[in-house]
Every structure is written in structure tokens, then in C-alpha cells.
Structure 1
Amino acid sequence: MLDRLYQDGRFSDESLGGSCGNVLVSLAMLHRAVAPVLRLGLDLEGDRLITEFCEAGAIVSHIHRSPNLRSPVLAEKLDTASGVHRFSFKCPETDADLPRYEPIGEPELTEALPLLEECAIFYADRLSESILEAMRTARAGGAIVFFEPSEIGDSTLFEHALALATIVKYSSDRLDDELEEMAANCIKIVTHGSSGLEVRDGSSKIWCNAINASEVRDTCGSGDMVSVGIIDWLLTEELSLGELNGQELIAGVVAGQRLAAANCAYAGARGLFKHRGASYIRSLLHAE
């Protein structure tokens, strides 16, 4: 979606956002082969989102646009003194409802099937019947399925997604109680905000303390940066599904935590990428 940033009550910037958008465009900027499969409106907001994907180097041939759809927009309101942010689906300037995300359907899924059958990692943060089928296709082709939900929503879809997922990453504030006994066959990454996170793999539980941020201007996007670090590490290591375990994953988790800490010094979910560039991010990912 398009993130519109308002700092201390004033509009300051807009850029591609949402967890899926942040993760994908960041990986594309790191020169990974990224192909978003999504629906957008035939509007100025959609133009802006596709331009950002193109500039990052993503493959945009699986982005479908419709004149009957409005591209999704989200407002981030940031208090720069405290670093606290909150999100709104209402425009702060007009109080009008902002357009929401619409998932892919059967036509978009069918067109993307050859891609899904060959991908190395499939990432999703939301579910629909078509997204679940895309996940199923990717997993059948040997992909690592990285699922990052913020809510359960449709419980049937959610349970099927957990059965397909290789890695499930979620916030303890939102889903920990519900997922405590679920997702038994996958690696769980449970985030605890500024305290750190826990990697759970069967009976194994590994705690990773958060890395201190030298400056906190905006914590938005911190979780997304952790996901970027993990996925980038997975692509580098080229581990098969059978080789992956929680202990192995710690190196990628810590790399992502370094990105998250550095990103806090900048406004916006991908401020670090905007101000420091991909070469600097790559150096953080490989720091010891």
C-alpha cells in the first residue's frame, strides 16, 4: 500500500509500504529477484507504487491493475519527540476513509502459477483463498513459506496456512496466546517489541535480545527489517526445507535485528534504505 507519513501533524512524505511491500522492495534493493503478485488500481497511487518497485529492481509483470479498484493507502502519524507512531485508515487532512487493500483473485493466481512453482521463498502477511492456493503451489515446488500474520481472520484459512508455513513470524502483543499450541510443525519467531524476540522450533526456545538503537526517531518498520534480514540470509545460505531449523536461523535473525536498530534513527518504515542505501545495508547484514 501507499504509506503517507505525517510528522507532528504535517504531511512529510509518501512511499510504498505495508509489511509485504516493505519486505519485498527492500529485498529488491538488495539485488534479490523479487516478483510481487498483487492487485492495484489504475490510479496515481498505483503509479507511485509500481514506480518504486521498478526503481528497486523488482519484477513488476505480475502486478495487475484495474480501473474499478483504488490502490490502498495508509496514514502513519509520527510524534518525532517520542518516536511513537500510529496508523489510520482515515485521511488526517480530510477525515475521509482511505482505500483498503484488496487481495489477488483467481485470474491473478492463474497467471502467476509458473512463477510460484519455481520460487525459492514465498512471503505473505495476509490471507485469501487465492493467496492460500499460491502458498500451497509454492510449497509444493519446494519453496520456504514465510508467513507473517497480524491477525487470525478466517480461522479455516489461517489453519491451512499454518500447515503450509515453514516460518511463522508474529507479535506477542497480537497473537501469542492464540498460537501457543498451534503451528507445531514450523519455526515460530515471536517478537516482543524493544525487548527482543524468541525463536521456537519444537521444544527448542532461543531468546535473542534486541540490539540497542543509537537513536530512536521512529520504530515503524522494525519488524519488517527483521524479516528482510532473515529472508536475505535464507537466500544466501540456500538451505533446503529439511536443513532449516531454529538454531540455524539465528544468524539471519540477528542480521535483521541490526537493520531494525539502525532503521529506528530515521522516519518512515524504510528510512534506513532511503538515507543510507543498499551498500550500507549490505554491510550491516554481514557485520559480525
Structure 2
Amino acid sequence: MVNRAAKTDVVGTGFVVLDRVYENDRKAFEALGGSCANVLWSLAMLDRQVAPVLRLGADDVGQHLIAQFRCAGADTRFISTTESIASPILVQFTDTQLGTHSFSFMCPDTKAEFPRYQPIDHQEVEAAATVIEGCSVFYADRLSPAIVSAMETVAKQNGIVFFEPSAISDRTLFNRAVDCATIIKFSSDRLGSELLPTLSGKNSIAIMTHGAKGLEVIQGSNHIWSEAISIPEVKDTSGSGDMVSVGLINHLVETGQTAATVDLHAVFKGVRAGQRLAAANCSFLGARGLFEQASPQLARRILHEAVN
């Protein structure tokens, strides 16, 4: 049960879908998916007070996604459903022999296009204003005018704004998001050349990922390299980046960081914890396989041992 009186640790919005996972070309299962979903669900399973702010369709898929968040212990009051849209679905193809995965918005059986993600609007932000203004961390991996407005509100309240972009669509919105972000996590392949020059004169802390090699934690002219953690057998690498975000955000909340206090050392320590969680998660099928097929207790132990 969600403790309504407790301060919300993490409020988040962004890419949340129903994942239809195919293992070696055979349908294996359906589950809550998307980076935002993986991060928020996992943090809720770690007993953090989490509130997703989302816009889904008033359909069976939407109800299933809401139920998944609720079962994890998240506060689902701020997930709106509407008849005018359909909840998004994404197909994931996993090759457990090679440890690789790919994604598609097309049904492999009918070749029909699945519904896509729809961002929240100002109506959803206004309904969640209390938890947004009082949260410790605001997570976003997609942008809309309403999402950027929420990010700016959190920044003014000295909350940590964690921005995890995968692409740049609206340059004006993107620049506003970067300006108010405390931490920005992005792929070197996708956004490295565009973002690094922009961040050089800012106080924000960047996490630039380099796939299986590792990642860099950057603030100004300070760069810290963090090697990826290897494991004997890799079954599925999906969700690895999300687990790094989970470990970092969990550490920031646990240590009571704010936008004013968080520094390169605290971020690096949280990132290392997240990398250990990501490595362990690769032994399981699915983006949150460690939580679902082992236990949240194991995840907590991995994170605790990593920072102590």
C-alpha cells in the first residue's frame, strides 16, 4: 500500500508501454516496459515513494500497465486514462544465445502498426502539482511543453531533475530541459557530439554511456571513466541503462541529495551501484528480470554492498 502522507521520493513521466517479449522468435510474455516504466517500477520495488504521471488509453492495455505499477507499490493516482487514445505497445525480440535484442512497433503476426506513446499535457501536470512540487527527484525521458514546465517547477524547488533523452525533436523544448536539468544521462552514439559542447558551460552533471564499454561521469572539465562490469553469462542486456539510472536515483534519495548538494562524487558512487545492478540483471530475461525472477531483496543487497 502507498503511504499517502509520506513525501514522494520520485515523480516521473515518459516512455511507458506494454512490452510483448519474444524469446528466440517465440512469444514469451507481456510486461510493463519503456525506460520510464522500468526506472519508476524498480524504484517502487525498492520501497521508494514513487508517483508516475502518465497519459494512457482507457483500454485493457492501460489498465494492465496501471495494475503493474500499483502492484509494485507506486502511487497511481496521477495516471490519467482517456478514450481518445490507445495505450502504446512495443515488441521486443530477444536472442538469448547472442544476448542481443531489438524493438518494433509492428505486430509480427498481422504486420499492423501498434499505438505509440502519448506525452502528458498541462491537465495531468496540474492534477499532480502537489507531488511534483514536493518530490526529491523528477525523472523524464521524453519531452512536451507540460513535461518541461514540470521540470522547471522542480528545479525552482531545489529538487533533482533527472533528464534521460534519446533524441532531439523540438530544439526549443530540449534546450529548456537541459537548462533546468541537474543530471543528464545520454548515449555517446546518439547525442554525445550534440550535447557535450552544450554542457561545457553548465553546472549540470552528465552521464555519457558507451554501451558495453562503460560510461563517463562529466561535470565541466572533470571526467570520470567507469568501466562496465562483466559477468560470466549474459542472457539479456535489455534494461541495462535503466538499471544504472535506478541505482543512481536510489542512492541520491537514500543520501538525501538535492540539486544544491549533489556533486560528481555522489553521482559516481550511485552510478557504480547502478552498474552492478545492471550487470546482475543481464543474467535474467527481461528489462527487470532480476526483480521479477530473483527478488527485490537481492537488488537491495547488491545496491547496499556497492555503496558501503
| TM-score, normalised by the number of residues in structure 1 | 0.98
Gaps of 5+ in 1: none
Letter in 1 for 2:175: E
Letter in 2 for 1:59: D
Q: 2:254 aligns with which of 217, 236, 239?
A: 236
1:191 alignment counterpart: 209
String of CA shifts for 1:163-191, please: whole Å, max 9, x gaps: 00000000111110111211333100001
SS at match of 1:252: helix
Letter in 2 for 1:238: G
In the TM superposition, what is the alpha-carbon distance from 1:254 to its structure 2 partner?
0.6
Q: Is 1:170 aligned with 2:181?
A: no
For residues 262 and 123 of structure 2, the distance between their equivalents in structure 1, rounded to whole angstroms, comes to 33
Q: 2:267 aligns with which of 241, 249, 254?
A: 249
Letter in 1 for 2:155: R
For residues 122 and 299 of structure 2, the distance between their equivalents in structure 1, rounded to whole angstroms, comes to 37
2:57 alignment counterpart: 41
Q: 2:161 aligns with which of 145, 163, 177?
A: 145
In the TM superposition, what is the alpha-carbon distance from 1:242 to its structure 2 partner?
2.1
SS at match of 2:166: coil
Q: Is 1:21 aligned with 2:37?
A: yes
In the TM superposition, what is the alpha-carbon distance from 1:246 to its structure 2 partner?
1.2
Output aligned runs, 1:11-90, within 5 Å. Answer: 11-90=27-106
SS at match of 1:215: coil
Q: Which shows bigger deviation, 65-74 or 236-245? A: 236-245
String of CA shifts for 1:194-230, please: whole Å, max 9, x gaps: 1110000111000001111232111100000000000
SS at match of 1:96: coil
In the TM superposition, what is the alpha-carbon distance from 1:106 to its structure 2 partner?
1.7
- Percent of matched pairs sharing the same residue: 51
String of CA shifts for 1:86-107, please: whole Å, max 9, x gaps: 0001011211101100001121
For residues 272 and 91 of structure 1, the distance between their equivalents in structure 2, rounded to whole angstroms, comes to 27
Matched residue count = 288
Q: Is 1:202 aligned with 2:203?
A: no
For residues 50 and 248 of structure 1, the distance between their equivalents in structure 2, rounded to whole angstroms, comes to 32
For residues 236 and 17 of structure 1, the distance between their equivalents in structure 2, rounded to whole angstroms, comes to 25
1:113 alignment counterpart: 129
In the TM superposition, what is the alpha-carbon distance from 1:247 to its structure 2 partner?
2.1
SS at match of 1:181: helix
Letter in 2 for 1:102: Q
Q: Which shows bigger deviation, 245-254 or 15-24? A: 245-254
In the TM superposition, what is the alpha-carbon distance from 1:125 to its structure 2 partner?
0.1
Letter in 2 for 1:224: D
Work out which structure has the larger RCO, using CA pairs closer than 8 Å and 6 or more positions apart in sequence. Answer: 2
Q: Is 1:216 aligned with 2:221?
A: no
In the TM superposition, what is the alpha-carbon distance from 1:248 to its structure 2 partner?
2.3
For residues 124 and 240 of structure 1, the distance between their equivalents in structure 2, rounded to whole angstroms, comes to 17
In the TM superposition, what is the alpha-carbon distance from 1:68 to its structure 2 partner?
1.5
For residues 95 and 109 of structure 2, the distance between their equivalents in structure 1, rounded to whole angstroms, comes to 16
SS at match of 1:31: coil
For residues 233 and 147 of structure 1, the distance between their equivalents in structure 2, rounded to whole angstroms, comes to 16
| TM-score, normalised by the number of residues in structure 2 | 0.92
In the TM superposition, what is the alpha-carbon distance from 1:62 to its structure 2 partner?
0.2
1:271 alignment counterpart: 289
Structure 1 segments, 4+ long, off by >4 Å, are none
In the TM superposition, what is the alpha-carbon distance from 1:66 to its structure 2 partner?
0.6
For residues 241 and 68 of structure 1, the distance between their equivalents in structure 2, rounded to whole angstroms, comes to 37
For residues 200 and 106 of structure 1, the distance between their equivalents in structure 2, rounded to whole angstroms, comes to 33
For residues 232 and 65 of structure 2, the distance between their equivalents in structure 1, rounded to whole angstroms, comes to 31
For residues 266 and 273 of structure 1, the distance between their equivalents in structure 2, rounded to whole angstroms, comes to 9
2:302 alignment counterpart: 284
In the TM superposition, what is the alpha-carbon distance from 1:40 to its structure 2 partner?
0.7
In the TM superposition, what is the alpha-carbon distance from 1:78 to its structure 2 partner?
0.9
SS at match of 2:158: coil
For residues 106 and 163 of structure 1, the distance between their equivalents in structure 2, rounded to whole angstroms, comes to 20
Gaps of 5+ in 2: 1-16
Contact 1:119–1:138 (Cα < 8 Å) also in 2: yes
Contact 1:113–1:137 (Cα < 8 Å) also in 2: no
Letter in 2 for 1:18: G
